[in-house]
């Protein structure tokens, strides 16, 4: 087994239409097993697109993506889905849950889809750590935004995937809950050797990572070992001055 969990090689993504948008421009990046990486950058810089391409949710216009040794570019939609189901967890920015299903059913949805018997003990632990123990029978519409986000994280963790992708997982959370969620993510990296790749705007959140990668205009403009929350904030501020960000939401 190689040490590289995810490898992105020369990936570009252009959104078609009358005015094509280059969301990613020839991005190369490797993510090591058992590490957490924070992807940062201004709104519209291509963070989400990078995550989607790396997780096999979307296909890059050019370049290749590998999960471990598996090359995603030649896989069928079905094979990709199965790979995501077994080896990848994903926490989206919003709209993570199926409204028709209860919290527990949402968390177990991937196992149900793959027909695997869920690991009850692990489920209990995950649920406990995200603090949802008393909410399992509720529907998403009865939860706050932060609670919904925690359900999504529990869902991503419960299959014990190799790589967990999170797109601003703490954006909607208060500081206290955010800290809990982040230490949860940190612990799966440290204890289980899983890999976390997380988009965030928050320097504090990024400080939970081992490495910080900054995107601007679809390119990696900075890639450094995690230097601490203050330094990150400084770096970002500099980046912000150099390159004014439009008001587009991230």
Partner 1 sequence: MLGLAAQMLRFRKGTFVATFVALAAGVMILMTCGLLVESGLRYQGSPQRYAAAVAVVADRDRTIAGPEIFGETESTTVSLPEGGRVPETLVKAIAAVPGVASAVGDHSIAVTPVAAPGVPATGHGWGSAALAPYRMVSGTQPRTDGEVAVDARLAAGGKLQPGDATALVVGGTERKFRVSGVVDAVGPRAAVFFTDTQAARLDPNPGSFTAIGVLAAPGADKAAVVAAVRTAAVNAKTYVDGERGLVEQPEAVAARALTVQAGAAFGGYAAMIIIFVVAGTVGLSVRHRRRDLALLRAVAATPGQVRLMILGEVGLLSLLAAVVGVPAGLAATAWTRDQLVTRGFVPGTFELSGGLLSGLAVTVAVAVVALSSAWIAALRTTRIRPTEALGEAAVEPALGGKVRIVSGLVFLAGGVSLIGLTGATGGTTALGAATGMLYTFVLAVALLAPWINQAAAKLLTPVLRTVWGTSGYLAAANLRANARGMVAVLTALVLSVGFGGTVWFLQDNLQRQTVVQSHDGTLAQHALTGAAGLPATAAAKARKIPGVVAATGVRRTSVIIPNQLEAQAVAAQGIDPVGADQTLDLGVRSGSLTDLRASTVALSTTLADSAGWKLGDDARLWLGDGTPVTLRVVALYDRGWGFGDVTLDSETLTGHTATGLDDHVLIRTAPGADVTAGLTDLANAYPMSTVIGTDQLTGELAQDLAVSAWLNKMLIAVLVGYAVLAAANTLIMAALARARELSLLRLVGVTRGQVRRMVHAEQAGLLGVALVIGTAIAAITLSSVVHAVSGERIPYVPALGAAVILGGTIALALIATMLPIGRVLRTPPVQGIGLRE
Ligand X SMILES: Nc1ncnc2c1ncn2[C@@H]1O[C@H](COP(=O)(O)OP(=O)(O)O)[C@@H](O)[C@H]1O
What residues make contact with ligand X under the rule CB under 6 A? 15, 21, 23, 41, 43-49, 250
The yes or no reply on residue 140 touching partner 1 (CB under 8 A) is yes
Cα 63 off chain centre by: 20
State which of positions 100-139 bind partner 1 (CB under 8 A): 100-101, 105, 109-110, 112-114
Output DSSP code: residue 141.
G
Select the span of 18-26, 27-35, 41-49, 187-195 touching Mg ion (CB under 5 A).
41-49
Cβ 182 vs Cβ 170: under 8 Å: yes
Find out whether 169 and 161 touch, Cβ atoms under 8 Å: no
Alpha carbons within 13 angstroms on the beta-carbon side of residue 209 total 34
- Nearest approach in angstroms of CB 77 to partner 1 is 6
CA dihedral angle for residue 59, residue 9, residue 224, residue 161, rounded to 10 degrees:
50
Of 18-26, 81-89, 171-179, 227-235: span binding partner 1 (CB under 8 A): 81-89
Range 206-245, binding Mg ion (CB under 5 A): none
Q: Is residue 49 involved in binding Mg ion (CB under 5 A)?
A: no
Residue 14 zone, left/alpha/beta (φ > 0; ψ -120 to 50; rest): beta
3-state secondary structure 54-93: HCCCCCCCEEEEEECCEECCCCCHHHHHHHHHHHEEEECC
Restricting to residues 72-131, name those near Mg ion by CB under 5 A: none
**What burial letters (b/e) apply to 171-193, b meaning 16+ CB within 10 Å?**
bbbeeebbebbbebbeebbeeee
Selected binder of Mg ion within 7, 35, 45, 48 (CB under 5 A): 48
Which of ligand X, Mg ion, partner 1, none has residue 68 at its interface (CB below 5 to 8 Å by kind)?
none
172 contacts Mg ion (rule: CB under 5 A): no
CA distance 85 to 190: 22
Contact partner at residue 46 from Mg ion, ligand X, partner 1, none, CB < 5 to 8 Å by partner kind: ligand X
> Does 48 participate in binding partner 1 (rule CB under 8 A)?
yes
Under DSSP, is residue 36 helix (H, G, I), strand (E, B) or coil? strand
In whole angstroms, the minimum distance from the beta carbon of 184 to Mg ion comes to 22
Segment contacting partner 1 (CB under 8 A): 1-9, 65-73, 75-83, 117-125?
75-83
Q: Which residues contact partner 1 by CB under 8 A? A: 48, 52, 57-58, 77-78, 81-82, 84-85, 90, 92-101, 105, 109-110, 112-114, 140-141, 148, 155, 167
Q: Which residues contact Mg ion by CB under 5 A? A: 48, 250
């Amino acid at each position: 087994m190689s040490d590289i969990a995810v490898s992105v090689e020369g990936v570009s993504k252009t959104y078609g239409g009358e005015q094509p948008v280059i969301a990613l421009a020839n991005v190369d990046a490797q993510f090591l097993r058992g590490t957490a990486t924070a992807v940062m950058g201004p709104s519209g810089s291509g963070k989400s697109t990078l995550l989607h391409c790396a997780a096999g949710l979307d296909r890059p216009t050019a370049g290749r993506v590998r999960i471990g040794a598996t090359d995603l570019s030649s896989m069928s939609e079905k094979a990709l889905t199965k790979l995501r189901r077994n080896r990848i967890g994903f926490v989206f920015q919003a709209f993570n849950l199926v409204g028709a299903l209860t919290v527990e059913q949402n968390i177990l949805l991937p196992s149900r889809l793959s027909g695997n018997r869920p690991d009850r003990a692990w489920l209990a632990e995950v649920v406990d750590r995200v603090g949802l123990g008393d909410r399992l029978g509720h529907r998403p519409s009865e939860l706050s935004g932060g609670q919904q986000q925690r359900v999504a994280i529990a869902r991503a963790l419960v299959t014990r995937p190799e790589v967990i992708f999170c797109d601003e997982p703490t954006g909607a959370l208060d500081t206290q809950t955010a800290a809990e969620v982040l230490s949860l993510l940190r612990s799966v990296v440290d204890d289980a050797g899983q890999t976390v790749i997380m988009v965030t705007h928050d320097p504090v959140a990024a400080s939970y990572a081992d490495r910080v990668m900054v995107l601007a205009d679809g390119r990696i403009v900075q890639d450094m070992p995690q230097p601490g929350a203050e330094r990150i904030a400084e770096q970002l501020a500099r980046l912000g001055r150099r390159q004014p960000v439009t008001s587009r939401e991230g």
